[in-house]
Amino acid sequence: MLHKQISLSSDLKKLQDEGYEIQVRDGYLLVHHVPYVNSKREITYGTLVSKLELASDKTVNPVGDHVMRFIGEPPCNHDGSIITAILNESHDETLIDGVVVNHTFSSKLSSGNYPDYYQKVVSYERILSSQAQHIDIAVTAKTFKIIETDDSDSVHHYIDTNSSRADIASISAKLKGLKVAIIGLGGTGSYVLDFISKTEAEIYLFDGDDFLQHNAFRTPGAASKKRLDEKPKKVAYLHGVYSKIHKKIFPRECFITSSNLEEILGMDFVFICIDEGMIKKQITEKLIAEKIPFVDAGIGIHSIDGALSGCVRTTMVTPEKNDHIEKRISFSDGGNNAYTQNIQIAELNALNASLAVIKMKKYFGFYHDLEKEYNSSYEINVNTIINDDTNS
């Protein structure tokens, strides 16, 4: 069975039909078995690697990026001299798991952009192969060997070309296969889901509330009036939205209570986005006991002279550090906090979720972390983030 991106794109299909050994992996096009000459005037074979721009699983043409990567030795002319006309730079770079490129080529058409990926691949392949054919006219990149691409383990319905376009696919892979739970799908929890749905993590949702009209004003996207009239559960509504991009979202239309705490065991990371103090305390104690890292996200809002002020708090707890929890996380049930009155603060929910997800990604090595703070507070009225509880 042909890989979907190949069968739907006429330029990729043409490359395969003509016998090129092509493969699509994580937003990159790989062309294997390309003959070239090394510095010893030996014929050997390398792999051309290009970023792919896709829309609805079809290639976007003309091709905006003229750069090509290469796996192999520095390619040479038939006399053993390096082909300096296309060689831009040489250093090893891991693009995705198992794909380490060695060189970067740059060759533009005089007419501008390559019209499609067929023309881009053939242009570079001919530059390399032509030198090999000076030595042996019979060598070719067209072997008609079909390379199967198995992307069945991806959690997404379509390729993450955002990561490949920025050459951070190998960094994004650090989150692949993680089991992440989101407890509470209100304003902050729904934005956490929005951000995590773009990663390769599995997602487990826990919330027993209905999705009501006020929720629509602090949740990503726009719910239709018809959908609101149906009064769906928050979990059901958000699962319906985000299952369009992510295949491994597991919805649980229930609250976490003392009777079902075991459902969050086995997670690699947990986001706590609820206000109820008693169950939050039980959840945090269980996670600490089971050595499961988590972030507790909180917002404290109050009214001053007709305007809202307060702070957005993000508290990280890991197996290595949890002695700060009592002074940072409140286990009361909110009291007169204006947040519990459903004041519409979508941008603060989004900020709270952003800081929480950034902390999670730092923990798993996606982002660099010099400060290693375990608590941060964004103060609204002075526009300042204060870091506490560093563990450097």
Structural domains in the chain? 4-153 (no CATH), 177-390 (3.40.50.720)
How do strand 373-379 and strand 384-390 relate by DSSP bridges? antiparallel
pLDDT at 152: 57
Rounded CA Rg of the chain: 26
Q: Please tell me the total number of residues recorded for the chain in this structure.
A: 392
Quickly list H helices, the chain: 4-8, 10-17, 117-135, 161-165, 169-172, 187-196, 213-216, 225-229, 234-242, 277-289, 325-328, 346-363
pLDDT in tens, 125-136: 999 999 999 999
pLDDT at 335: 43
Q: How far apart are CA 358 and CA 295, in angstroms?
A: 10
| Peptide bond before residue 293 is cis, with ω within 30 degrees of 0 | no
Q: Residue 146: which residues within 8 A CB-CB, separation 6 or more? A: 16
Half-sphere exposure of 126 (CA within 13 A, CB side): 7
Q: How far apart are CA 120 and CA 134, in angstroms?
A: 22
Burial class (CB in 10 A: 0-12, 13-18, 19+), 269: buried
**Considering the entire predicted model, what is its pTM?**
0.81
Mean pLDDT by 10 residues, the chain (392 residues): 71 94 92 97 98 89 95 97 96 92 94 93 98 97 80 78 86 95 96 97 97 94 95 96 96 95 96 93 96 95 88 95 92 55 76 98 96 95 94 64
Q: How far apart are CA 12 and CA 32, in angstroms?
A: 14
pLDDT at 167: 85
> Which residue type does 280 have?
K
State the CB neighbour count (10 A cutoff) for residue 352. Answer: 26
Which residue in 6, 51, 61 sits closest to 163, CA to CA?
51
